[in-house]
Structure 1
């Protein structure tokens, strides 16, 4: 983005049937059908920063490192998304990947790292990357520069298995 450009618009939070459709995967996870999503989605548990209540959201996995293990997710609604703000307030939480629970700690990545993550994601999933850029009001020419700018505008979070918890929430390795 150059100095004369306007910042990207932030998408409106979904409501009505769109919100219901986005929440449907949570019901599938609750029914034990998380493996249907393969390695593309995870269920994030987070604590409401105001209410203190347990909340859940399903997020797309931008990248997964099974060696550590760690998962990188993006906030398509920017830093105002409730799950993102809740993780800022309380970064230690649980996820469900497939049918396995994992205790994780959230690490908020700098925009420079986001640019590289987005370029890699666009190589693996070009159509989805273009749709995400369009959704966020960013250029969608499909070039590396556009994806780099998108990666700098989108907040990325790396979820690392929490120290002292082992590889999952039950202590299994």
Structure 2
């Protein structure tokens, strides 16, 4: 969908991440969900989480080579990946759960946490997920 120019349909909820393979050195593409986005001092940033934990290929690739690019809508942005500490991940997940409660419940259920109507500790869920902040400014061009 991104290659066909239909990225704007996702309204900022999804990004196409273009990153470098850690073993091949070749460009890799992965569509990821945006947990939070912000603009600070004229630089955009997107916070994403690895729902499959630290073993997800895209996450491991960013750990190895933090310079990447994202496609948001039709535009590409050079970014640098910053791994967030667990405490900050907990805060990010708590904010996400208040904006998207059904999606947050599904994610918690997928992770094996109780979601049978009782309150889920989303801060704890966020502390167990690896979060990455992709900050615009440095990284390879398209």
Q: Distance in 2 between matches of 1:59 and 1:88?
A: 16
Q: Normalising by the residue count of structure 2, what TM-score does the alignment of the two structures yield?
A: 0.91
The question of 1:34 aligning with 2:12 is answered: no
RMSD: 1.8
Q: Where does the alignment leave 5 or more consecutive residues of structure 2 unmatched?
A: none
Structure 1 unaligned regions, length at least 5: 1-27
Q: Which has the higher helix share?
A: 1
Q: Between the two structures, name the one with larger relative contact order (CA 8 Å, sep ≥ 6).
A: 2
Q: 1:46 offset after TM fit, Å? A: 1.0
Q: Deviations over 1:81-134 (max 9, x none)?
A: 000000000000111001110000000000000110000000000000000111
**Whole-Å separation in 2 of the counterparts to 1:112 and 1:139:** 21
Larger radius of gyration between Structure 1 and Structure 2: 1
CA offset at residue 150 of structure 1? 0.4
Please give the residue correspondences for 1:2-151 in structure 2 after superposition, counting only pairs within 5 Å: 28-67=1-40, 68-140=43-115, 141=117, 143=119, 146-151=121-126
Change (3 A) 1:142 1:93: farther
What CA distance in whole angstroms lies between the structure 2 residues aligned with 1:157 and 1:92? 12
Deviates more, 1:49-58 or 1:108-117: 49-58
Point out 4+ residue stretches in structure 1 off by more than 6 angstroms. Answer: none
